[in-house]
Amino acid sequence: MADIQEIDVKIRDQIGTGGSRAIRRDGNTPGILYGTGIDPINITVETKVLVKHFQTGRFLSTLYDLNLDGKKTRVIPKDVQLHPVKDTPLHVDFLLLSREAKVVVEVPVSFINDDICPGIKKGGVLNVVRYNVELSCPADAIPENIVVDLSEADTGDSIHISAVTLPEDVTPTITDRDFTIATIAAPAGITEEADVTEEVEDSEAQETSDAEDSQE
């Protein structure tokens, strides 16, 4: 797991719609810190800092240490409300975590050995079904990604979650089926050629059958 990044936050006194607007005008984003055993704490985050982390694409599956008045608190972002037009953050929620906590997060899928993949070397195409997989995992052991090895994948193969090695105590939230992550699709030319070959064989078989019938 990557090093835990820090985000500086401040307690906010301004609440309500008017207070939130004033906070945003000052270049900050209102937020809340909540969790088991604590009363919700109203906070502010510098907007440009929040945007920087949000644009990584992994914000909601990354652990952070919130630096509040010199005290570090381990959290995971749970929600970011965005402006419907500008896509700028309007509000952010952070969940306080304990070491024993388990969290549900979406983790990105990455593919390796595509350069030696038999199916791709034949001209096949990698068709990604799931770019992210929802996992249940310990709060202090969130994997950065799910690695799919393509070194033995051939055309027509489907790669399921069961083929992926997950870290200890990390499990997919979908448990009722062995869902597909990706497939290796055959090249269009090969598919078309196979269809034509099948049609020719069917035609030849029919001609042979007709000839035999006429001889009888």
Give buried/exposed letters for 141-165 (b at 16+ CB in 10 A, else e): ebbeebebebeebebebebebeeee
Q: Looking at per-residue confidence, does 208 or 158 come out higher?
A: 158
DSSP 2: P
Number of H helices, E strands in the chain: 4, 13
Q: Are 136 and 102 in contact (CB under 8 A)?
A: yes
Q: What pTM, to 2 d.p., does this model score?
A: 0.65
Which whole number is the average pLDDT over 93-120? 90
Residues 90 and 138 in one domain: no
Residue 198: its pLDDT value, please? 53
How many domains does one find in the chain? 2
Instruction: Kindly state whether residue 57 falls inside one of the protein's structural domains.
Output: yes
The alpha carbon of 95 is separated from its chain's Cα centroid by a whole number of angstroms, namely 20
Cα separation values, 82 from 45, 51, 91, 111, 213, Å = 14, 11, 7, 31, 74
Q: Looking at per-residue confidence, does 207 or 148 come out higher?
A: 148
Q: What CATH number corresponds to the domain at position 151?
A: 2.170.120.20
Q: Going along 47-96, which residue ranges are E strands?
A: 64-68, 71-82, 89-96
Which whole number is the average pLDDT over 160-164? 95
Instruction: Kindly state whether residue 165 falls inside one of the protein's structural domains.
Output: yes
CA distance 212 to 204: 12
pLDDT at 62 > cutoff 90 = no
**Cβ atoms within 10 Å of 184's Cβ, excluding its own:** 22
Which of the four pLDDT bands, split at 50, 70 and 90, describes residue 199?
Answer: low
Residue 192: its pLDDT value, please? 47
Instruction: Kindly state whether residue 199 falls inside one of the protein's structural domains.
Output: no
On average, the pLDDT of the chain sits at: 86
Residue 190: its pLDDT value, please? 55
Name the residue range of residue 108's domain. Answer: 103-190
Which whole number is the average pLDDT over 121-141? 92
Instruction: Kindly state whether residue 213 falls inside one of the protein's structural domains.
Output: no
- Residue closest to 135 by CA, chosen among 114, 160, 166, 95: 166
Q: Please count the CA atoms within 13 angstroms of the CA of 104 that sit on its side-chain side.
A: 5
Which whole number is the average pLDDT over 69-85? 91
Which of the four pLDDT bands, split at 50, 70 and 90, describes residue 75?
Answer: very high
Q: Are 178 and 160 in contact (CB under 8 A)?
A: yes
Residues 120 and 90 in one domain: no
pLDDT at 166 > cutoff 80 = yes
Category of 65 on φ-ψ map: left (φ > 0), alpha (ψ -120 to 50) or beta: beta
Residues 74 and 131 in one domain: no
Q: Is 190 exposed, middle or buried (0-12, 13-18, 19+ CB in 10 A)?
A: middle
Instruction: Kindly state whether residue 157 falls inside one of the protein's structural domains.
Output: yes
Q: Are 31 and 44 in contact (CB under 8 A)?
A: yes
- Percent of the chain scoring above 90 in pLDDT: 60
